[in-house]
């Protein structure tokens, strides 16, 4: 098929007739597929069932330092878990706090603490006239939901294949004291699957923010989530780079085992500077006597060490790789050369980003839903759910079975063609009428 823009009005009308017939056929299949979130599939969850067996009523629940994991204590986590997640996050265990099951909860807590009590003695954000955050777009909708909930104004910053537009970040951060943070998913970003370049990480570490309490919220959710053994993105470690740059307190780094073991029962962690650590401990002492140490010990016993975790993630990759490759293959086959959309081909993570023709994303998602495939709402990858060009669609290939995913990807491509050709036909008909 030729480029859609090169087709005549008659050719477009004829092709649309055929596409609508195919759409009606698919609609009659009554598909019920949900691709709205990046959830692990059953086969991935099965990989971690050994977690249920490593501890039982006869297990020794004592840590190497003598801590009884059944009791109170160890505010920042047991040493063994800090070592394991330190290796996972590439940080010194002494710079890590182990939390509960969700890194998103830790991010919410971190924003909340800054809002009500301030960061390291600075004015609480709730007492300021204006608080703003930079938001790389397209980005993670749950990040944006946190800042929106606290009434923080969000400023979109365009993403590129090497990370956020750093000239824009540097300019805004250095001139505006009301800008207190930036959301980052630096490796296999949500949704594009991009990883920040060495230069981008170094420029982040060398920011000169006008606000003393500006922090980079570095959500390294996909640090170990490679799809390939021999072709992986590499990310410079941000805390070490900040220390070298003389900005040791600039970053809060978040991670978890949510998509490594069980999303609802993993362990989360925050890595940061000693100064930030002490600031956070003040809150933690009032909030909890310690998080679930039994679950921390369970993870340590299950993996043994970082090498066990790496092998575990290879098994995840074996399940996910064919799914990503199939979606990419279908999009290439169905949409390649038509110039009605572009899509990313990540080397890891959980998502792909599809960029439609302007003004088409919402209509494509609606068409899919009407035929039984639910996608993330169009616009969700932008602050306030408002994508000004209406182009960004997040694709989450991980949860469906291969057969369901194949049906969903083919339906998605069909809907892209339908909506795009309807738009092009209407524009051509309007142009003809105008002459």
pLDDT in tens, 90-109: 999 999 999 999 999 999 99
Q: What is the mean pLDDT of the chain?
A: 96
Q: Kindly list the domain boundaries of the chain, sorted by start residue.
A: 4-44+310-434, 61-304
- The residue with tokens 């997040």 is 394
Backbone angles phi, psi at 414, to 5 degrees: -60, -45
Distance of alpha carbon 60 from alpha carbon 388, whole angstroms: 57
Asked if pLDDT for residue 1 goes beyond 80, the answer is no
Q: What is the 3-state secondary structure (H, E, C) of 134-197?
A: EEEECCCHHHHHHHHHCCCEEEEEEEECCEECHHHHHHHHHHCCCEEEEEECCCCCCCCCCCCC
Neighbouring CB atoms inside 10 A of 22's CB total 14
Asked if pLDDT for residue 295 goes beyond 90, the answer is yes
Closest CA to 188 of 336, 316, 362: 316
* Domain spanning 61-304: CATH 1.10.1040.10: no
* CATH architecture classification, 4-44+310-434: Alpha-Beta Complex (3.90)
Q: What is the DSSP letter of 91?
A: S
pLDDT for res 264: 87
Binning pLDDT at 50, 70 and 90, where does residue 429 land? confident
pLDDT for res 404: 95
Which pTM value belongs to this model?
Answer: 0.96
pLDDT in tens, 167-218: 999 999 999 999 999 999 999 999 999 999 999 999 999 999 999 999 999 9
pLDDT for res 224: 97
Asked if pLDDT for residue 2 goes beyond 80, the answer is no
pLDDT for res 25: 94
Give the pLDDT mean for 344-366: 97
């Amino acid at each position: 098929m030729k480029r859609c823009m090169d087709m005549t009005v008659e050719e477009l009308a004829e092709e649309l007739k055929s596409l609508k017939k195919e759409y009606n056929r698919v609609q009659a299949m009554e598909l019920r597929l949900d691709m709205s979130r990046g959830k692990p599939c059953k086969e991935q969850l099965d990989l971690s069932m050994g977690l249920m067996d490593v501890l039982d009523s006869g297990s020794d629940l004592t840590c190497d330092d003598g801590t009884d994991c059944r009791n109170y204590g160890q505010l920042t986590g047991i040493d063994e878990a800090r070592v394991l997640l330190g290796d996972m996050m590439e940080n010194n265990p002494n710079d890590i706090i182990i939390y509960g099951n969700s890194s998103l909860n830790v991010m919410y807590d971190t924003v909340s603490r800054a809002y009500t009590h301030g960061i390291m003695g600075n004015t609480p954000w709730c007492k300021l006239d204006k608080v703003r955050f930079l938001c790389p777009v397209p980005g993670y909708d749950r990040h944006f939901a946190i800042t929106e909930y606290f009434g923080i104004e969000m400023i979109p910053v365009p993403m590129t294949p090497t990370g956020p537009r750093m000239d824009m970040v540097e300019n805004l951060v250095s001139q505006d004291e009301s800008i207190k943070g930036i959301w980052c998913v630096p490796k296999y970003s949500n949704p594009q699957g991009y990883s920040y370049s060495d230069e981008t990480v170094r420029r982040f570490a060398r920011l000169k923010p006008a606000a003393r309490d500006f922090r980079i919220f570095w959500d390294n959710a996909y640090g170990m989530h490679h799809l390939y053994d021999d072709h992986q993105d590499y990310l410079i470690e941000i805390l070490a780079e900040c220390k070298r740059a003389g900005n040791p307190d600039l970053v809060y780094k978040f991670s978890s085992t949510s998509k490594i073991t069980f999303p609802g029962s993993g362990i989360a962690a925050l890595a940061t500077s000693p100064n930030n650590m002490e600031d956070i401990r003040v809150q933690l002492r009032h909030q909890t006597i310690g998080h679930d140490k039994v679950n921390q010990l369970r993870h340590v016993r299950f993996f043994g060490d970082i090498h066990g975790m790496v092998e575990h993630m290879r098994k995840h990759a074996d399940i996910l790789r064919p799914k990503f490759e199939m979606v990419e293959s279908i999009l290439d086959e169905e949409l390649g050369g038509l110039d009605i959309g572009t899509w990313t081909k990540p080397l890891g993570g959980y998502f792909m980003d599809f960029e439609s023709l302007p003004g088409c994303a919402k209509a494509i998602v609606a068409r899919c839903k009407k035929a039984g495939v639910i996608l993330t709402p169009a616009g969700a990858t932008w602050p306030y759910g408002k994508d000004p060009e209406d182009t960004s669609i997040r694709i989450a290939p991980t949860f469906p079975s291969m057969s369901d995913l194949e049906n969903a990807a083919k339906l998605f491509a069909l809907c892209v063609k339908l909506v795009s050709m309807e738009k092009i036909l209407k524009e051509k008909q309007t142009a003809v009428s105008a002459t």
